[in-house]
Amino acid sequence: MVHPLAPPDFDSVELINEVVAERQGGVNAAYFTGRAQEWAERVQGYVHGGGSPAEVPVWPEIEDRKTTFIGLYTHPAEDSAQGAVLDALRAHRLTFCPACGEMGKPNTLDHFLPKRKYPHFAIVPHNLFPMCDACQGKKLEKTGDEDAPKFFIHPYFDRFTSPRVVKLAIDPPYDTPTFTIGPSEDLLEHERTLVAVHLRELAIEVRFTHFFREEYIRLLRLMQDARDGGQNCAALLALFRGHANSISPNSWQHIFYDSVLNNPDLVDYLATADLPELL
Ligand SMILES: [Zn+2]
């Protein structure tokens, strides 16, 4: 699930100043020079406001030139200041999507505040982070609505009082259980609200139901093998959970095994019941 990231090692305001300086002598020199100060202030405001759409305003005065701003992202000139930053952001070494926890290298950069609505943040490093295709397909241009002004967790800015933000419930019958995910009860109320809307807007429960079911089938086989070999099921489960926790407390495998171990009825079922052969 959600993995916080260290903020990018770039000064977003300084980058704006460099980009404006590089425009000098070009056709857009006067335009960017005239907006340089406000642009830098708005980027500063983004960083101070943690990128929240509830706090960071749009910039209607640049609407007629938004393709110019977006072009800095989509077609950076060779050796441009922002081109080097974008290359560095794309060269990350993540092995999971920070928004949903899907394993594999997330191969796109997401604009936390979408570039068509906020073109002045199109090249801002603090507005860009790796994301998987499935999350991008769900997030699209969404930012929030009246009920929830902020839909998504910002991996650079949002921090929670509990390292585990999501809870998985595995409910009986244990031969064919149901899986439900929701915000962790360890979180504060406003944190739970944000996690809940993030889960909903990225359709995370639906997308990961298949994973839970396959993981559960694998668990039944492992527990049967453990019992056949005279091993202690609970001890083995704790070992699996510890391994998953070493990846991240918010890795789906850790959430899965944590859910199993916090459910005494399920642990008892795994240790003593006639386990079905699920396919
Ligand atoms: Zn994702």
Q: Which residue has the tokens 């929701």?
A: 182
Which residues form the domain of 60? 12-92+109-129
User: Burial code of 248-263, b = ≥16 C-beta within 10 A, e = fewer?
Assistant: bbbbbbbbbbbbbeeb
Which pLDDT tens digit goes with each residue over 34-75? 999 999 999 999 999 999 999 999 999 999 999 999 999 999
Task: Say yes or no to pLDDT of 279 above 80.
Answer: no
What is the number of domains present in the chain?
2
Q: How far is the CA of 261 from the centre of ligand 1 (A)?
A: 26
* Whether residue 123 sits in one domain with residue 19: yes
Q: What is the pLDDT of residue 1?
A: 73
Domain membership flag for residue 261: yes
Query: Which bin fits 94, alpha (ψ -120 to 50), beta or left (φ > 0)?
Result: beta
* Whether residue 217 sits in one domain with residue 117: no
Predicted model pTM = 0.90
Which pLDDT tens digit goes with each residue over 77-123? 999 999 999 999 999 999 899 999 998 999 899 999 999 999 999 99
* Whether residue 170 sits in one domain with residue 125: no
Helix (H) / strand (E) element for 111: namely strand 108-111
Q: How far is the CA of 30 from the centre of ligand 1 (A)?
A: 40
Which of 261, 252, 256 is CA-nearest to residue 3? 252
Domain membership flag for residue 103: no
* Whether residue 31 sits in one domain with residue 84: yes
Which of 161, 192, 164, 196 is CA-nearest to residue 180? 196
Domain membership flag for residue 39: yes
Q: How far is the CA of 23 from the centre of ligand 1 (A)?
A: 35
Which residue, 129, 157, 175, sits at the end of a domain? 129
Which residue, 101, 129, 157, sits at the end of a domain? 129
Which pLDDT tens digit goes with each residue over 4-19? 899 999 999 999 999 9
**What is the C-alpha separation between 32 and 264, in angstroms, rounded?**
63
Domain membership flag for residue 207: yes
Domain membership flag for residue 279: no
Which pLDDT tens digit goes with each residue over 207-258? 999 999 999 999 999 999 999 999 999 999 999 999 999 888 888 999 999 9
Q: How far is the CA of 105 from the centre of ligand 1 (A)?
A: 10
Domain membership flag for residue 80: yes
Q: How far is the CA of 218 from the centre of ligand 1 (A)?
A: 23
Q: How far is the CA of 74 from the centre of ligand 1 (A)?
A: 22
Q: How far is the CA of 98 from the centre of ligand 1 (A)?
A: 6
Q: How far is the CA of 156 from the centre of ligand 1 (A)?
A: 15
Q: How far is the CA of 102 from the centre of ligand 1 (A)?
A: 6
146 φ, ψ (degrees, to nearest 5)? -65, -40
User: Burial code of 97-122, b = ≥16 C-beta within 10 A, e = fewer?
Assistant: bbbbbbeeebeebbbbbbbebbbbbb
* Whether residue 232 sits in one domain with residue 176: yes
Domain membership flag for residue 141: no
Domain membership flag for residue 97: no
Residue 194 CB contacts under 8 Å (≥ 6 apart), including other chains: 150, 153, 158
* Whether residue 170 sits in one domain with residue 122: no
H helix intervals, 114-232: 133-139, 189-201, 204-228
Measured in residues, the chain has a length of 279
Q: How far is the CA of 233 from the centre of ligand 1 (A)?
A: 32
* Whether residue 233 sits in one domain with residue 178: yes
* Whether residue 125 sits in one domain with residue 65: yes
Q: What is the mean pLDDT of the chain?
A: 94
* Whether residue 123 sits in one domain with residue 174: no
Q: Which residue has the tokens 């928004």?
A: 99
